[in-house]
Amino acid sequence: MRMFDAVPKQVEEELSRRGFLHLAGMFVVSVASTQAQNAGPYPDPNYRQLDSWIVIHEDSTATFYVGKTDLGQGTGTAFRQMMADELDVAFEKTKIIMGSTDVTVDQGGSGGSDAIQVDGWPMRRVAAEARRVLLEMAGQRLGVGVDQLVVSNAVVSVKGEPGKRVSYGELIGGKKFNVALSGNDVNGTTGLAKVKAVQDLKIVGQSPQRYDIPPKVDGTLKWAVDVKLPGMVHARNVKPPVAGAKLVSIDEASVKGLPGFVRVVSKGNYVAVVCEREEQAINAARKLKVNWEKPAEAPFPASEDLFTYMRAAKPMSERKTPVVGNPEAAFASAAKVIEADYDIPFQGHTSFAPAHAMADPSNGQMTIYTNDMKSYGMRLGVAKFLGIPKEQVRVIWMDGPQGYGRTAADDAGFEAAYLAKELGRPVRVQWMRDEEQAWDTKGPAFTCKLRGGLDASGNMIAFDYDSQCCNYGHVGYNEPDTVLIAQLMGVRKNPPNAGGGATPDDMYAIPNRRMSSKVVRLPLIHETPLRTGNLRDPNGPQVTFASESFMDEMALAAKADPVEFRLKLFAGSTKDDSGFKRARSIAVVKAAAEAYGWKPRSSPQRQAKGDILSGRGFAYSFRSQTVVANAVDVEVNRKTGQVWVKRIVVAQDCGLVINPEGVKGTIIGGTLHALSRTLYEEMTFDTEKVLDRDWVNHPTLTHMDSPEKIDIVLVNGDPNPQRPDLPHYGAGETVCKPILAAVANAIFDATGVRLRRLPFKKARVLAALNAVG
Amino acid sequence: MSKISLKVNGASHSVDVDPTTPLLYVLRNDLDLHGPRFGCGLGQCGACTVIINGAAVRSCVLPVSAVRSEITTLEGLSKGGTLDPVQQAWIQEQVPQCGFCQNGQILTAKVLLDKNPNPTDEQIRKGMAGALCRCMTYYKIQAAVKVAAQLKKSATGVGA
Ligand code: FES
Ligand code: FES
């Protein structure tokens, strides 16, 4: 075994160049002189120091240090583009280090699609500040005022005298800036310099290839799953057979004689087996005999009874948006009132690979190698969980399989840290497929009741939205009471999380509107496989499925074309101040309809060719300033119930686009992930455990489902599109919202059957088709 | 434990492991070949794919003692420092999102194209169907397989 395999190569290189050898394990042993620096503790990097963000090397290349993580959408590449552009260094001459808590400032890791929208700003500002400082230094060196200087590709020269020049490397290469920054928090970090006008950006708006793709394709990337350390052992968990079970006893003799056996570790209801080799740990965890006692009360209703249970359950909390107009009066005066219920089940993150992490307790510190998207949260959470100061914990982020929110409650990192502390040796933990499928965090289930009123001319004059959701555990910054190991050990949040509902965030100008969302709880809210977590726009896909399906139901009642019906609602006037958002919504809806070639007509069309019924559908969504619309074509096989989404048009306005090809990749991934949730994904459970625990019984979208054609239109719908300060909004999660309803609307167009319960599995579609004959 | 000899990417190795150990763990933990990865351990996803005798094989369900022929992993795909046309196409088309599944996608595509240099859209879908991706890069993969087919042809054309 190659013993030292821990820190990603680029991190290793950069750290040694910076002169801080933050290396673990083997290096500490073999490079004794650096031991003091390696040993920790690991104080927070200071965001108010330019040196925490940018290092310029002697060869005029730059390394950026940012507190974010890249979930595979190429945000690292986008950060480099933004910072290189402000700094005036060629993109290829830059590198980036992300998400390692001891060397990058705390920007919270990933989440909420805010990487570009929020965190991109301090990155741009600090890079602009570095450029300003370098220009000042160059002015002194060359004996001219800063206004006499031009800079290109890290070389500063005197205007009109290109021979008079000095490079960034010559000015500061290998040395520190020692420049203080200001800002009340990391998001506000700034120097004196202003960022460039959009018109002056040269690298932003281009599509350099993602730097992380070649090593992912040729097999050279070091992933979090690849970390190896001297003296390491492997652990596997033994989960309770049913939710809420109590551990009675462990028969350690059942595994003691097995090869490589090291130890059984258990506390409360948490049980792990540790062995020298990975396959030995897997084998021992399967063989370990544990006695469990079932809970007296069933932890949850069976999945087929879930919505009945949820509708009848007493809410724990309610969230209301301010009432617009007078909904009651409007409904009373309406010519037509439409009402519909929509049900969305629990859906898993079901990441491609299960939870995993390595923890190293060397030197009395705790280093965790992980793909945790919120490495800073994990650092705080683990410190609290283990009862040690956060300065003793560092979390090194590395690439991993994405679960899009799964690692906001990163169980394996906490488990590895706990076991490493217990054993005094580096421990690698990994869950098995069935554990991940059953026990990962879940996207909350929703049941939504919608009501709409039309006046005599078919205008939508009233809207009422009321939902109940199972979202009680909804937190997501690796809090020590959200991870499973802590809950199994009896850690409880007191009082329990109130959870949070969600309401549509469309921009329709409906003059009378009331919206309320309630949280209901299942009997068991801790130690449960139905623990909710942030699944890629935590509630957006569910709520938007209901609201955008309902918009088509309203359009049908108004005998209107669904796109025209929506556009009319954007044009309406209300007292709120949403004009900016509404203008951009109009631009995106029109762009999608145009790219699709949408001809106005009302649904359903019921076009049939043999057993294949075809139809089209539309949906729109808004989230945190980003607008998306989908137009899709579907084919429904009336003999089998199989749905194929043949064509998808996505129009999106996310403001200033940093890397168009990167954004397109994100759009395709997010859209198809939501399509998988539309067609296949659903947690099934009886009254005590999750039932379908592999890819055969819990299917996902596959190559067979991939659309024939995806068209993407990037829209700049800003009312002042040339403004020099055009903002960059988040691209990730808004795209996950509209496709569910777009497909439902297209199935209705194809078949005349309205599906109001996700997902649209073959059997469910077929039953619905047969029910209407 | 027993001594087992393996030939991987042109090199011979001898390991001392339980003969029932799935090949995946031996490749990853004993031979430091990290291209194949654990996704399901059930033969359902393709993350652990390696090539044996020209076939895409799931190393998570193959006991190491059952291996008779040379194994090629993702690391062994490039020839003389040049990436395989499939890998080149993957970079050109910027296929991966997180990339974790791409070992399985790339090796499955390689085997598909070795057997059928001109696959139709339907043959690509069917040939790739068992390789799962939770980032849903299917659309880009299917485009990249076609690009790889072209690259392969031009590479063969110049006798490479
Ligand atoms: S890990 Fe082998 S097929 Fe999934
Ligand atoms: S690229 Fe992430 S699982 Fe396929």
CATH code, domain carrying B104: 1.10.150.120
Least confident of A115-119, A465-469, A668-672, B125-129: A115-119
- Give me B13's structure tokens: 């190795």
Name chain A contacts of B100, Cβ cutoff 8 Å: 223, 352-353, 399-402
Give yes or no: residues B9 and B69 share one domain. yes
According to the model, what pLDDT value does residue A475 have? 66
Which chain B residue has its CA at the smallest distance from A75's CA?
A: B97
Give yes or no: residues B68 and B90 share one domain. no
Q: Which atom of ligand 2 is nearest to the CA of A352?
A: 3
Note whether A373 and A71 are within 8 A (CB): yes
Q: Given CB atoms, is A252 within the 8 Å cutoff of chain B? A: no
Does pTM top 0.90 for this prediction?
A: yes
Here the CATH number for the domain that contains residue B28 is 3.10.20.30
Expressed as residue numbers, the domain containing B8 is 2-76
Nearest-angstrom CA–CA distance, A723 and B25: 56
Q: Residue A675's pLDDT band (boundaries 50, 70, 90)?
A: very high
Q: Given CB atoms, is A771 within the 8 Å cutoff of chain B? A: no
* Pairing verdict, β A513-519 and A460-469: parallel
Q: For residue A217, how far is its CA from the centre of ligand 2 (angstroms)?
A: 12
Residue A2, pLDDT > 90, answer no
Are B37 and A223 inside 8 Å of each other by CB?
yes
According to the model, what pLDDT value does residue A576 have? 60
Give B157 to chain A, closest Cα distance, Å: 24
Are B75 and A219 inside 8 Å of each other by CB?
yes
Are B37 and A400 inside 8 Å of each other by CB?
no
A225-296+352-439 maps to CATH 3.40.30.10: no
Give yes or no: residues B98 and B57 share one domain. no
Give yes or no: residues B49 and B21 share one domain. yes
Name chain B contacts of A401, Cβ cutoff 8 Å: 39, 98, 100-101, 134
State the fold for domain A305-349+442-540: Aldehyde Oxidoreductase; domain 4 (3.30.365)
Give A70 to chain B, closest Cα distance, Å: 8
According to the model, what pLDDT value does residue A31 have? 30
Residue A14, pLDDT > 70, answer no
Least confident of A34-38, A706-710, A748-752, A767-771: A34-38
Give yes or no: residues B92 and B144 share one domain. yes
Tell which A residues from 206 to 235 touch B, by Cβ distance under 8 Å: 209-210, 212-214, 216-223, 225-226, 228
> B58 CB less than 6 Å from ligand 1?
yes
Q: What is the ipTM of this complex?
A: 0.97
Q: Which residues pair with B79 in a beta bridge?
A: B82
> B104 CB less than 6 Å from ligand 1?
no
Give yes or no: residues B69 and B94 share one domain. no
Q: Residue A474's pLDDT band (boundaries 50, 70, 90)?
A: low
Q: The domain A561-771 is classified under which CATH number: 3.30.365.10, 3.30.70.1140, 3.40.1190.20, 3.10.129.10? A: 3.30.365.10
Tell me which of B30, B56, B76 is where a domain ends: B76
Q: Given CB atoms, is A73 within the 8 Å cutoff of chain B? A: yes
Q: Which residues pair with B12 in a beta bridge?
A: B7
Q: What is the pLDDT of residues A239-276, one digit of tens each?
A: 999 999 999 999 999 999 999 999 999 999 999 999 99
Average pLDDT, chain A: 93
Give B86 to chain A, closest Cα distance, Å: 9
Tell me if B11 is assigned to some domain: yes
Tally of domains within chain B: 2
DSSP type of residue A316: S
Q: For residue A294, how far is its CA from the centre of ligand 1 (angstroms)?
A: 32
Which chain B residue has its CA at the smallest distance from A232's CA?
A: B29
Nearest-angstrom CA–CA distance, A416 and A418: 6
- Give me A53's structure tokens: 């963000």
Q: For residue B38, how far is its CA from the centre of ligand 1 (angstroms)?
A: 6
Give yes or no: residues B64 and B7 share one domain. yes
According to the model, what pLDDT value does residue B110 have? 98
Give yes or no: residues B108 and B135 share one domain. yes
Residue A75, pLDDT > 60, answer yes
Across the A:B interface, residue pairs with CB atoms under 8 Å apart total 178
Give yes or no: residues B90 and B60 share one domain. no
Name chain B contacts of A696, Cβ cutoff 8 Å: 44
Tell me which of B44, B76, B108 is where a domain ends: B76
CB atoms within 10 A of CB A319: 17
Nearest-angstrom CA–CA distance, A371 and A7: 12
Residue A22, pLDDT > 70, answer no
Q: For residue B133, how far is its CA from the centre of ligand 2 (angstroms)?
A: 5
Tell me if B159 is assigned to some domain: no
Which of A670, A658, A666, A607 minimizes the C-alpha distance to A633?
Answer: A607
Nearest-angstrom CA–CA distance, A133 and A461: 58
Residue A764, pLDDT > 60, answer yes
Tell me if B96 is assigned to some domain: yes
Q: Residue A500's pLDDT band (boundaries 50, 70, 90)?
A: confident
According to the model, what pLDDT value does residue A498 have? 80
Are A703 and B30 inside 8 Å of each other by CB?
no
Q: What is the pLDDT of residues A164-199, one digit of tens each?
A: 999 999 999 999 999 999 999 999 999 999 999 999
Instruction: Name the 3-class secondary structure at A243.
Output: coil
State the fold for domain A40-211: Aldehyde Oxidoreductase; domain 4 (3.30.365)
According to the model, what pLDDT value does residue A573 have? 63
Q: What is the pLDDT of residues A627-660, one digit of tens each?
A: 999 999 999 999 999 999 999 999 999 999 999 9
Nearest ligand (C-alpha, residue A70): 2
Site of tokens 């999102």: B97
Q: What are all long-range contacts of B51-58, with beta carbons under 8 Å and residues at least 24 apart?
A: B51/B107, B51/B110, B51/B111, B54/B111, B54/B114, B54/B115, B55/B111, B56/B104, B56/B107, B56/B108, B56/B110, B56/B111
Give B116 to chain A, closest Cα distance, Å: 18
CATH 3.30.365.10 location in chain A? 40-211, 225-296+352-439, 305-349+442-540, 561-771
Q: Which atom of ligand 1 is nearest to the CA of B39?
A: 1
Q: Residue A23's pLDDT band (boundaries 50, 70, 90)?
A: very low
Nearest-angstrom CA–CA distance, A594 and B48: 43
Cα Rg of chain B (Å, integer): 16
Q: How far is CA A513 from CA A25, A299, A327, A516, in A?
A: 60, 37, 6, 10
Task: Calculate what percentage of chain A has a pLDDT beyond 70.
Answer: 94
* Pairing verdict, β A626-637 and A612-623: antiparallel
Give yes or no: residues B68 and B131 share one domain. no
Amino acid identity, residue A476?
G
Give B159 to chain A, closest Cα distance, Å: 23
Tell me which of B21, B50, B76 is where a domain ends: B76
Give yes or no: residues B98 and B124 share one domain. yes
Q: How far is CA B12 from CA A210, A239, A277, B69, B79, in A?
A: 35, 39, 22, 11, 18
* Burial of A770 from C-beta contacts in 10 A (0-12 / 13-18 / 19+): exposed
> B44 CB less than 6 Å from ligand 1?
yes
Nearest-angstrom CA–CA distance, A181 and A56: 17
Give yes or no: residues B62 and B89 share one domain. no
